[in-house]
Structure 1
Amino acid sequence: MNEKDFRKLKRVELYEIMLAQAEEIDDLRNQLTAAKKELQNKRIDIQRSGSIAEASLKLTKIFEEAQKAADLYLSNIKKETGDADE
């Protein structure tokens, strides 16, 4: 609608247009709020996945170190057993 069309409208019609626009603005605000919440949840999920990946890497390193210690212990036991047999 152009300016002339608006001038021809009655006050009630203008009020109805304004009401419709206000409702649309409210709907858009609600959608924006929901989108922001969803984005925040996605950020939290991404942060958690990063934390899980980091924790997994740390656990892997711990298991590697534990395996090295177990191998060393077993090697020492075999050496001691071999020395005792001689």
Structure 2
Amino acid sequence: MTEKEMRKLSRLELLELFVEKSKEVERLKAELAQANKKLEDRRLLCEQTGNIAQAALEINHIFEQCQQAADDYLASVRSAVKPGQ
């Protein structure tokens, strides 16, 4: 709506237009808040997924170290116990 058209409106029409625009602003604010919440939820999900992946890698590394320690122990036991003894 142009400024010229707005000048031709009555006070009641201007008030109705104002109320309509206020409702639209409130609706858009609610949509924005909902979109921001979804974005934050996704951001948290991505962070948690990254944390889970990092934890899995660390656990895998621990298992590798345990396996190496077990292999070393078995090798030392086998070398200490010679066949035929």
Q: Same fold (TM over 0.5)?
A: yes
Render the CA deviation track for 1:15-63: whole Å, top value 9, x for unaligned.
1111110001001111111111111111111111111111011101000
Structure 1 moving runs of 4+ over 6 Å? none
| Number of residues of Structure 1 aligned to a counterpart in Structure 2 | 85
Aligned to 2:31: 31
Q: Distance in 2 between matches of 1:62 and 1:4?
A: 75
Matched residue type, 1:9: L
Q: CA RMSD in A?
A: 1.4
5 Å-filtered alignment, 1:1-86, equals 1-82=1-82, 85=84
In structure 2, C-alpha distance between the alignment counterparts of 1:68 and 1:58, rounded to whole Å:
15
Q: TM-score, normalised on structure 1?
A: 0.88
Distance 1:2 1:68 in 2: 79
Structure 2 unaligned residues grouped into runs of 5+:
none
- Larger relative helix fraction: 1
- CA positional deviation for 1:81: 2.1
Report the TM-score when normalising by structure 2.
0.89
Identity rate of aligned residues, in percent? 36
